[in-house]
């Protein structure tokens, strides 16, 4: 019954509404819209409420660490169960004190997804109703999925792959 929109049609609707606040890219036939932090909530609400887009199912919300120069990125995948098209929303965040508005008031699924992103990357989601750790044990310090988080077992145990006395080659 629904009509799936192609990537260009979705892109043109988003461009018409949001103008220069978003950048569009086409990834494997689906739109990836990179939006600024202040318009993130509006974009997700528009994708959900607009009848021709009707993205009513949030697949996941995750984070990406792009290194010290790239900052962080929050990625959300939305799907329309009526029209059978998907949209990927990305938000670029700075690498120091990353903060982003929550979309758990629009999609209750994102409550847990954002809790996991919070504990793994250290991204603060403003307005989140229950920002506590989801998966990690309580006294855990640090943010494990950041690129600069060391795996302590690999630091402590000497690599058995080199004969004693030889230098370990550094890949960096």
Partner 1 sequence: MAQRGPDVGVITEKTPIAKIKPVRFLLNWGRRYSLWVFNFGLACCSIEFIAASTAKNDFIRLGVIPFAHGPRQADLLVVAGTLTDKMAPVIKRLYDQMPDPKYVISFGSCSNCGGPYWDSYSVTKGVDQIIPVDVFVPGCPPRPEALLHGIIRLQEKIRDEDIQEKFRSGTTAVS
Partner 2 sequence: METQLHEGFGQGLVKGLSVTLRTMLHRSVTVQYPHVRPDLPARSRGVIALKQENCTVCYKCSRECPDWCIYIDAHKETHEPAGGGRARSAKILDRFAIDYALCMYCGICVEACPFDALFWSREFDYAEYDIHELTHEKERLEEWTYTVLPPPPLEVGAEASEEGRA
Give the binding site for partner 2 (CB under 8 A).
157, 159-164
HSE-CB of 18 using CA atoms within 13 angstroms: 25
Residue 136 CB, shortest distance to partner 1, in Å, is 6
Q: Is 34 helix (H, G, I), strand (E, B) or coil?
A: strand
Cα–Cα distance, 113 to 57 (Å, whole number): 14
Residue 162 burial (CB < 10 Å; 0-12/13-18/19+)?
A: exposed
Select from partner 1, partner 2, none the partner in contact with residue 96, using the beta carbon and a kind-dependent cut-off of 5 to 8 Å: none
Residue choice 1, 16, 132, 137 for contact with partner 1 (CB under 8 A): 137
Our CB check for partner 2 shows the closer of 19 and 161 to be: 161
Residue 21 burial (CB < 10 Å; 0-12/13-18/19+)?
A: middle
Select from partner 2, partner 1, none the partner in contact with residue 170, using the beta carbon and a kind-dependent cut-off of 5 to 8 Å: none
Q: Does 112 bind partner 1 (CB under 8 A)?
A: no
Select from partner 2, partner 1, none the partner in contact with residue 137, using the beta carbon and a kind-dependent cut-off of 5 to 8 Å: partner 1
Our CB check for partner 1 shows the closer of 60 and 149 to be: 149
Q: How many CB atoms lie within 10 A of CB 40?
A: 22
Select from partner 2, partner 1, none the partner in contact with residue 147, using the beta carbon and a kind-dependent cut-off of 5 to 8 Å: none
Cα–Cα distance, 100 to 107 (Å, whole number): 15
Residue choice 68, 135, 158, 162 for contact with partner 1 (CB under 8 A): 135
> By the criterion CB under 8 A, which residues form the site for partner 1?
135-137, 140, 142, 144, 149, 151-154
């Amino acid at each position: 019954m629904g009509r799936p929109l192609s990537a260009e049609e979705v892109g043109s609707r988003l461009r018409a509404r949001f103008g220069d606040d978003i950048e569009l890219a086409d990834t494997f036939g689906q739109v990836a819209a990179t939006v600024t932090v202040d318009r993130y909530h509006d974009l997700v609400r528009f994708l959900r409420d607009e009848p021709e887009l009707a993205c009513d199912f949030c697949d996941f919300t995750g984070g990406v660490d792009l290194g010290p120069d790239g900052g962080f990125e929050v990625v959300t995948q939305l799907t329309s169960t009526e029209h059978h098209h998907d949209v990927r929303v990305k938000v670029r965040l700075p690498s120091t004190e990353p903060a982003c508005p929550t979309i758990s008031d629009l999609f209750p699924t994102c409550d847990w997804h954002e809790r996991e992103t919070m504990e793994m990357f250290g991204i603060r989601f403003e307005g989140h109703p229950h920002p506590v750790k989801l998966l990690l044990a309580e006294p855990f310090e640090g943010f494990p999925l950041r690129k600069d988080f060391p795996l302590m077992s690999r630091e402590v145990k000497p690599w058995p792959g080199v004969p004693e006395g030889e230098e370990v080659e550094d890949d960096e």
